[in-house]
Amino acid sequence: MPSYLHFTSMTLGDKSARSLSRIGIMGGTFDPIHFGHLRMAQELATVLDLAEVRFIPSATPPHRDQPITSARQRAEMVTLAIADNPVFKLDTRELEREGYSYTIDTLQSLHEELQGQARLYLLMGLDAFVGIASWHRWQELLQLTHIVVATRPGATLPAGNPILDEFLQTHQVSSLQQLHAQAQNGIYMHGITALDISATHIRHQLHTGQSPRYQLPQCVLAYIEQYSLYR
Ligand SMILES: Nc1ncnc2c1ncn2[C@@H]1O[C@H](COP(=O)(O)OP(=O)(O)OP(=O)(O)O)[C@@H](O)[C@H]1O
Ligand SMILES: O=C(O)c1ccc[n+]([C@@H]2O[C@H](COP(=O)([O-])O)[C@@H](O)[C@H]2O)c1
């Protein structure tokens, strides 16, 4: 093949792959949403060059106690928290589904909606990743998305866990270039600013009459106070 033709086809190939937008999927209970979630989404959106991050509150989380506040209230708190960021979007598909909010179902429904026009990056903290082998149909997740894991204070990878070790050995990539070269199927670990904030601690503070101020957006705290949540 003449060298100019080879060059042209490579350029077109790169362009078409890059023109697919990258969408970050930020699932959570968000009971309530706080700066740990928002900062993680912001830092990963920057490093991955994401066109958008979808915040997807789970209606019925599969692996934990059920939320204190209603799905509608959690969605409203997310709406308030992300209102000033055009990259952040609320996605209510899990709230509209019956039954447990399994991530595999969410990824499948996103694929149906996006029709191959975007690549998915499932964002999660290290504490969530450590439990991933207990997720519903977890071995199919990477057929639909990349997984990007952010550090979280207090969370570490357990030593000598054969399932997680093999999952990482098979799928972990060490560079962003490698990650973006694949359509899905990669795991990428990224260190973010350590914010030792959790919704559990915020709920405890509210329940015991302490102020959780400066751990979550003021507009979310105002909403919590307006409806006397978590008392
Ligand atoms: N401070 C944080 N730093 C990094 N990741 C976080 C932080 N807080 C939450 N995450 C991640 O955000 C996602 C959603 O978390 P979730 O809504 O369960 O918040 P949480 O603070 O862990 O809540 P809870 O205390 O009720 O379990 C998970 O992937 C979790 O790992
Ligand atoms: O699909 C599953 O089986 C599954 C099991 C545990 C957690 N998840 C998802 O992981 C995300 C973070 O969960 P959580 O419990 O830390 O809020 C949230 O989107 C959950 O729906 C998903």
Q: What is the ipTM of this complex?
A: 0.99
Q: How far apart are CA 96 and CA 52, in angstroms?
A: 21
Q: Is 28 in the pocket of ligand 2 (CB under 6 A)?
A: yes
Residue 62 near ligand 2, beta carbon < 6 Å: yes
Q: Looking at residues 118-131, what average pLDDT do you find? A: 98
Band of residue 104 on the pLDDT scale cut at 50, 70, 90: very high
pLDDT of residue 230: 98
The rounded percent of the chain whose pLDDT value lies above 70 is 92
Do 118 and 21 touch, CB atoms closer than 8 A? yes
Residue 48 confidence (pLDDT) above 90: yes
CA-nearest residue for atom 15, ligand 1, is 28
User: What value does the mean pLDDT take over residues 98-108?
Assistant: 97
For residue 4, is pLDDT > 60? no
Assigned fold of 21-153+160-196: Rossmann fold (3.40.50)
Q: What is the CA radius of gyration of the chain?
A: 19
Which residue minimizes the CA distance to atom 12 of ligand 2?
28
Query: What is the Å distance from ligand 2's center to 14 Cα?
Result: 34
Within 10 A of 223 (CB to CB), how many other CB atoms are there?
A: 20
Reported as a pLDDT band with limits 50, 70 and 90, residue 5 is very low
pLDDT at 59 over 90: yes
| Cα–Cα distance measured from residue 136 to residue 100, given in angstroms and rounded to the nearest whole number | 10
Q: Answer whether the bond into residue 212 is a cis peptide, omega within 30°.
A: no
Q: How far, in Å, is the centroid of ligand 2 from the Cα of 142?
A: 15
pLDDT at position 17 is 52
Residue 1 has pLDDT above 60, yes or no: no
Q: Is 38 strand, coil or helix? A: helix
- Check residue 110 and give its pLDDT: 98
pLDDT of residue 19: 63
Distance CA 103, CA 145 (A): 11
Atom nearest to 61 CA in ligand 2: 21
The mean of the pLDDT values for the chain is 92
Of all protein residues, whose CA lies closest to atom 6 belonging to ligand 2?
A: 63
Spatial CB neighbours of 189, under 8 Å, sequence gap ≥ 6: 126, 148, 149, 151, 172
HEC string of 50-81 equals CCEEEEEECCCCCCCCCCCCCHHHHHHHHHHH
Q: In angstroms, what is the span from residue 28 Cα to ligand 1's centroid? A: 7
pTM of the entire predicted model:
0.93
Q: How far apart are CA 15 and CA 61, in angstroms?
A: 39
